[in-house]
Amino acid sequence: MRLSRIHNLHDFEAGARRKLPRAMFSYIQNGAEDEVTLRRNRSAFDRYAFVPQMLNDVSARHQRIELFGHEYDSPFGISPVGLGAMYAYRGDVALARSATQMNVPYVLSGASLTRLETVAQAAPRAWFQAYLPGSREEIQRLLARAAQAGYRQLVLTVDIPVSVSPDRYIRNGFSSPLRPSLDLAVQGLTHPRWLFGTFLRTLVAQGMPHLENWRADRGNPVLSKSLQKDVKNRDNFTWDHIRQARDAWQGDLIIKGILSGADAERCAQVGANGIIVSNHGGRQVDCAISPMTALPEVVAAAPGLVVMMDSGIRRGSDVLKAIALGARCVFAGRPFNYAVACAGADGVMHALHLLREEVHRNMALLGIDHPYAMNPGRLKDLCAEICEGRLPGL
């Protein structure tokens, strides 16, 4: 793909659609059910308008931030998205290395197909996101493995007690594991760049990909006609399981999937160090509130925690709006996985550069020299203005 034709994160989606079989593209793109949450994640940013301030010296502006004792070069990172090695050859490693080169956070998904040890060697500052297994012993084994590999930040995703709604996936031929079928074979044959450059290349080099980090032991293969994805014993999860993880983990503990002040308070009570306000990119419960809507309440409820956000970030303006409402860092998943599908590590690097340049440019236009200079006073809540009669309806 000619990256010179890619001018923003949105542009990667069309290239990924052409490159990937329909089933794989569906896994990245689709939201839950009618995708109300997915759409709301984007429209929530339109609620807020900037209030620029003029004639400030912004010539020395920078966007470096500190999280958990490490200085990063930008206030955004790459969210965990499963199956990265199916979008590009060694896709998880390409994402992790690119984030390391650009010095931004990268979170390896627990549903990845590359061993967490391999990613840690390629990107020693990577974070690890886990879906906790159902017993104390298995929790301890998984977290001991991550700690042994050198991970310091553990992200626990708590918003998936059951499998996601399957109708859109079924329509596009996706399942976990993938089921061999004539339709899936046709999808592969009609996407030869992916078939030969990603899937068959992976088979030759490494054998059939497996869920390598779902549990302490190797999980299911990505392709199987009979196996079911192991999601048992997750609908009985409680805060006691988080306490067990806290007892077993010596590094920073971050809880992802929080959308209310009440749950943010519980995060503080169980000893978490951080929160990622998230609705899983609109992939779990439909008709949920957006993280941008939830963010002020969560920030107010957990003043001692590092509050971050994901879901819907596509522009530098989105990054700065979220920071104005209290986020210390934001994450995006889909666009960077589209980028790795389009052009591997080069695509991810280009995407990170584009977002960094947008933040840099917008800081100058808004009259600030650092992202944390953003605060609620730098935004106008247009919905509140309309409700109070100060603006006509949009």
Catalytic status, residue 280: yes
Sign of CA dihedral 54, 57, 59, 64: negative
DSSP of 119-139, one letter per residue?
Answer: HHHH-TT-EEEE---SSHHHH
Residue 165's pLDDT is 76
Is 31 annotated as a binding-site member? Answer: no
Residue 221 tokens read as: 């293969």
Q: In what order do the strands lie in the sheet with 306-310?
A: 76-78, 330-332, 306-310, 274-277, 252-258, 153-157, 127-130, 107-108
Structural domains in the chain, sorted by start: 3-388 (3.20.20.70)
Please check if 179 is assigned to a binding site.
no
Q: Does the annotation flag 175 for ligand binding?
A: no
pLDDT of residue 130: 96
Q: What is the pLDDT of residue 107?
A: 98
pLDDT at 23: 96
The two counts, helices (H) then strands (E), for the chain are: 16, 12
Q: What is the pLDDT of residue 11?
A: 97
CA distance linking residue 121 with residue 80, whole number of Å = 18
Tell me what pLDDT residue 388 has.
Answer: 57
CA distances from 217 to 144, 249, 258 (A): 12, 18, 28
| pLDDT value for 302 | 95
pLDDT attached to residue 232: 57
Q: Is 34 annotated as a binding residue?
A: no
Three-state DSSP state, 156:
strand
Catalytic residue among 191, 210, 241, 280: 280
Whether 309 contacts 278, CB under 8 Å = yes
State the maximum Cα–Cα separation within the chain, in Å, rounded to a whole number: 65
User: What pLDDT, on the 0 to 100 scale, is given for residue 369?
Assistant: 98
CA distances from 183 to 32, 74, 192 (A): 23, 42, 15
Residue 256 annotated as part of some ligand binding site = yes
Whole-number Å distance between alpha carbons of 86 and 207 = 13
- pTM score of the predicted model: 0.95
CA–chain centroid gap for 140, Å, is 24
333 a known binding residue?
A: yes
pLDDT, tens digit only, all 394 positions of the chain: 689 999 999 999 999 999 999 999 999 999 999 999 999 999 999 999 999 999 999 999 999 999 999 999 999 999 999 999 999 999 999 999 999 999 999 999 999 999 999 999 999 999 999 999 888 999 999 999 999 999 999 999 999 888 877 788 888 999 888 999 999 999 999 999 999 999 999 999 999 999 999 999 999 999 988 766 665 557 888 999 999 999 999 999 999 999 999 999 999 999 999 999 999 999 999 999 999 999 999 999 999 999 999 999 999 999 999 999 999 999 999 999 999 999 999 999 999 999 999 999 999 999 999 999 999 999 999 876 555 555 555 4
